[in-house]
A and B are shown apart, each in its own frame.
Chain A
Amino acid sequence: MTDQAAAPAEAPGAPRTPLRALVLAGGLTFEREVSINSGGQVVEALTRAGVDAELHDADAELLPGLAVSPADAVFIALHGATGEDGALRAVLDLAGVPYVGSPAAACRLAWDKPAAKSVVRAAGLSTPDWVALPHSTFRELGAGAVLDLIVARLGLPLMVKPASGGSSLGVQKVSRVEDLPAAMVSCFAYGDTVMVERYVDGVELALSVIDLGEGPEALPAVEIAPESGVFDYTSRYTPGLTEYHAPARVSDEVAGRAAEVALRVHRALGLAGLSRTDAIVTPDGEVHFLEVNVSPGLTETSMFPMAVEAAGLRLGDVLSRLLARAASEGPIRP
């Protein structure tokens, strides 16, 4: 692989100057550490691909810095709010700075897991039943009565998760009804709305999508098999505690269906550039949408880079092509 993939579209034979990329990582969220790891990997991969990449936090120095020393494009390796909820992208739109990935409005939708599930279900895809409620609803209507209704309709086990956020932080599987109130309390520490979802047993897949300019394309599914049975923060970020298989050990038919789900999710939510859909395949071969990430993890233990590698691609080449595309398309007008 040569440096050429990194350069913006230019006339053949013209001298190429390296693309200048600002990689944003850190932020003021629960996922700061994960983001810093992602950002470091991105800078390393981009540098190897010939891009002049620099790491920066999303802080008060960002906008003045961009004004003084503009980048060809920004790569957002921030996880959690600001980076993924569309807010930062809206600001970059105002500043006229191009960036890789989905536009602000699409991010806002994808960030809100219950809203994204509604859109995905309306698009005809399968997703486990759920209910998302703020604390105030439990307080006003009585937590016992509401939880009773939830268990009666969604059954057990249940997945309890924050309505927004990633890295599996705050996610719990509840198998016994007596554990449910405590699970709600600990989940509400992550945000004001909790989503309770019917538990679906099956093979967990991470479905990465990239769009290098010719439309979204699904990468091979990555299968996740945590030793503990639950893909929580520790399983996710401690090498050795989870087995990953790329491509997933599923039939070609299931793999094709999973890829189609990922592409339909990507389009239904109006995503761009890259995304990672998390899904479960039940024993009957059905693929169930769980959630989608507009800023997928890019750490050493993350699934998006595994999918890129399983496709026979290099992360640096994919990321530099995404950057070149963002740079050539220019900023989004707010």
Chain B
Amino acid sequence: MPDPSVGTGQAGAYSSGASPHVSPRHPRLDPLADRYAARTHGMKSSEIRALFSVVSRPEVVSLAGGMPAVTALPLDAVGSMIGELVSGMGAQTLQYGSGQGDPRLRERICDVMALEGITDASPTEVVVTVGSQQGLDLVTRVFVDPGDVILAEAPSYVGALGVFQAAQAQVRHVAMDDDGLIPEALEQALLECRARGERVKFLYTVPNFHNPAGVTLTEPRRQAVVALAEQYDLLVIEDNPYGLLGFDQEPMRALRARNADRVIYLGSFSKTFSPGLRVGWVLAPLAVREKLVLATEAQVLCPPSLTQYAVARYLDTQPWREQIKVFTELYRERRDATLESLSALMPAGTTWTRPDGGFYVWLKLPDGLDAKLMQPRAVAAHVAYVPGIGFYADGSGREYMRLSYCYPEPDRIREGVRRLARVIEAELDLHSTFDAVDTGTFRAVNPAAARPGTDRVTPPPVIGPANTDQSEGSQP
């Protein structure tokens, strides 16, 4: 101990042989701190993540997570189906499989894509992945070098931004509105990149029931985006996890259905069946597919056999299209509860999107409010959302938040929106107190007051609840 006169020394009574003057660990707690790859330095603990940990408590209404309502599945039927896959087909389902994925599943995937107008896809062009997230990572690895430019909607899927950041890409956001990505803004971005001498590697887009914005690319804009891709030699990554989750309309025709050479399509069973099985896919031209297969073999050898068999068997034996209908009816009811509550309760100046499918509402706060800074107040009020800033690569989006209606029951959604409205009102009240402050009129700062440690030197300017009788001289 630095000062043997302090303390009773009792510690020494039951410690032996340890050297007290040796720093016990590396001073940075991380002896490998200077060896990390450049891309790893961006990985830090964040307050946003810390504040999220309360959502696991039942007291909190979480409008944050995008968890599908898997309990609406026929769990008993799925359970016995998976049991049979192990007991009857264990030699295959518990074994390594092909890097490209199970051929039978790839055939069924083509059937699913036909629902969105992709009728020319061959199973040989499909690569099964560990969720479409791995598909996106593979595509990014195959195409993107550090410093390359990727275009993405503003806002964009947070999980995609994470992949792009890990690849050290530069993300340029392209504006969207209630009709989805704005073609004029896309063309503008392409021209700007060209003027700067930047090569755009691809456009990443979520055309249906966008995460987080909730909007859908309209038919005329689909045509315009594909025309721009052809005109500007642009590769498009179409990420489509929500396309079959429309509430009122038939699925829209995919971008990939309009151009097989310039569009790489990412699909997923996470929202139509189960996210826990982690089965997604990439549909890509043959040359690209070959590289994706090599990349996935380097990454995971092959996608899990058991879950691929489970999805294939589910599609073969269960009424999966009817099940999607069950899901969408559930989500429609929750969407309605969300929109009705928002209309009834949100303070003036708040606006939001009106999704026709999928999981998300994108809400814009009244002027001056910041969803990230407001988050602690929301946690204290037991309601959770995702601050908008996470959906931008450039630090913007502070005035937005994403609300997910997919998981809570309608009554819980109404209660959550009620709590959120009170949080926003309290924040508006706070802003009305502080926003008008003109610090330019403040008197000059007393320079003596700014000296460090002056509480020992100068008479105490005590304006806190301290006992003013207490003279500084009595300090040790």
Which residues of A come within 8 Å of B, CB atoms? 1, 5, 26, 28-34, 36, 57, 59, 114-115, 117-118, 121-122, 124-132, 135, 138-139, 143-144, 147-157, 167, 169-170, 177-178, 180-182, 184-186, 188-191, 198-202, 212-221, 225, 233-234, 236-248, 250, 252, 255-257, 259-261, 263-264, 282-284, 286, 288, 300-301, 306, 309-314, 317, 321
Task: Name which residue of chain B comes closest to A157, CB basis.
Answer: B450
Q: Does A28 contact B470, Cβ atoms closer than 8 Å?
A: no
Q: Chain B contacts of A283 at CB under 8 A?
A: 452
Q: Does A129 contact B20, Cβ atoms closer than 8 Å?
A: no
Give min CB distance, A236 to chain B, whole Å.
8
Report if B44 contacts A (CB, 8 A). yes
Q: Does B28 contact A239, Cβ atoms closer than 8 Å?
A: yes
Task: Name which residue of chain B comes closest to A215, CB basis.
Answer: B8
Report if B75 contacts A (CB, 8 A). no
* B interface residues, tally (CB under 8 Å): 90
Known contacts: A33-B49, A151-B442, A184-B434. The answer to whether A260 contacts B476 by CB under 8 A is yes
Interface string of B439-458 (1 = CB under 8 A from A): 11111111111111111100
Q: Chain A contacts of B321 at CB under 8 A?
A: none
The residue that A144 contacts in the complex, of B3, B33, B52, B438, with Cβ under 8 A, is B438
Give min CB distance, B18 to chain A, whole Å.
3
Q: Does A33 contact B53, Cβ atoms closer than 8 Å?
A: yes
Complex Cα–Cα for A116 and B455 (A):
17
Q: Chain B contacts of A220 at CB under 8 A?
A: 1-2, 20
10 contacts between A and B (CB under 8 A): A30-B379, A148-B443, A233-B46, A234-B44, A239-B33, A252-B3, A263-B7, A310-B20, A312-B17, A317-B14
Complex Cα–Cα for A212 and B431 (A):
49
Give min CB distance, A260 to chain B, whole Å.
6
The residue that A242 contacts in the complex, of B11, B28, B59, with Cβ under 8 A, is B28
Report if B319 contacts A (CB, 8 A). no
Given contacts A129-B464, A214-B10, 7 further A-B pairs with CB under 8 A are: A30-B376, A59-B57, A129-B462, A139-B429, A149-B463, A198-B454, A247-B21
Q: Does B374 contact A126, Cβ atoms closer than 8 Å?
A: no
Known contacts: A33-B50, A155-B449. The answer to whether A132 contacts B475 by CB under 8 A is no
Give min CB distance, A123 to chain B, whole Å.
9
Best-surrounded residue of A124, A149, A170, A314 (most CB of chain B within 10 A): A124
Task: Name which residue of chain A comes closest to B48, CB basis.
Answer: A233
Q: Does A29 contact B3, Cβ atoms closer than 8 Å?
A: no
Task: Name which residue of chain A comes closest to B368, CB basis.
Answer: A185
Q: Does A312 contact B19, Cβ atoms closer than 8 Å?
A: yes
Which residues of B come within 8 Å of A, CB atoms? 1-3, 5-12, 14-15, 17-21, 23-25, 27-30, 33, 36, 44-47, 49-54, 57, 59-60, 370, 373-377, 379-380, 382, 427, 429-431, 433-456, 460-467, 470, 472, 474-476
Best-surrounded residue of B21, B60, B434, B439 (most CB of chain A within 10 A): B434
Complex Cα–Cα for A129 and B46 (A):
30
Q: Does A126 contact B456, Cβ atoms closer than 8 Å?
A: yes
Q: How many A-B pairs with Cβ below 8 Å? A: 288
Complex Cα–Cα for A95 and B432 (A):
45
The residue that A311 contacts in the complex, of B11, B444, B464, with Cβ under 8 A, is B11
Q: Does B476 contact A125, Cβ atoms closer than 8 Å?
A: yes
Q: Does B29 contact A169, Cβ atoms closer than 8 Å?
A: no
The residue that B3 contacts in the complex, of A132, A215, A256, A286, with Cβ under 8 A, is A256
Task: Name which residue of chain B comes closest to A28, CB basis.
Answer: B57
Complex Cα–Cα for A286 and B452 (A):
11
Q: Chain A contacts of B12 at CB under 8 A?
A: 312
Known contacts: A33-B49, A309-B24, A312-B18. The answer to whether A170 contacts B376 by CB under 8 A is yes
Q: Chain A contacts of B449 at CB under 8 A?
A: 152-155, 198
Q: Chain B contacts of A138 at CB under 8 A?
A: 433-434
Q: Does A200 contact B453, Cβ atoms closer than 8 Å?
A: yes
Q: Does B435 contact A189, Cβ atoms closer than 8 Å?
A: no
Complex Cα–Cα for A313 and B443 (A):
53
Q: Does B438 contact A29, Cβ atoms closer than 8 Å?
A: no
Q: Does A244 contact B27, Cβ atoms closer than 8 Å?
A: yes
Complex Cα–Cα for A114 and B461 (A):
15
The residue that B439 contacts in the complex, of A157, A180, A215, A219, with Cβ under 8 A, is A180
Q: Does B2 contact A256, Cβ atoms closer than 8 Å?
A: yes
Task: Name which residue of chain A comes closest to B54, CB basis.
Answer: A32
Q: Does A169 contact B50, Cβ atoms closer than 8 Å?
A: yes
Complex Cα–Cα for A194 and B435 (A):
17
The residue that B60 contacts in the complex, of A28, A147, A240, with Cβ under 8 A, is A28
Q: Chain A contacts of B443 at CB under 8 A?
A: 148, 152
Give min CB distance, A29 to chain B, whole Å.
7
Give min CB distance, A134 to chain B, whole Å.
11
Complex Cα–Cα for A33 and B52 (A):
8
Known contacts: A28-B54, A300-B29. The answer to whether A312 contacts B15 by CB under 8 A is yes
Give min CB distance, B8 to chain A, whole Å.
5
Q: Chain B contacts of A218 at CB under 8 A?
A: 1, 3, 6-7
Known contacts: A169-B376, A184-B434, A300-B29. The answer to whether A152 contacts B53 by CB under 8 A is no
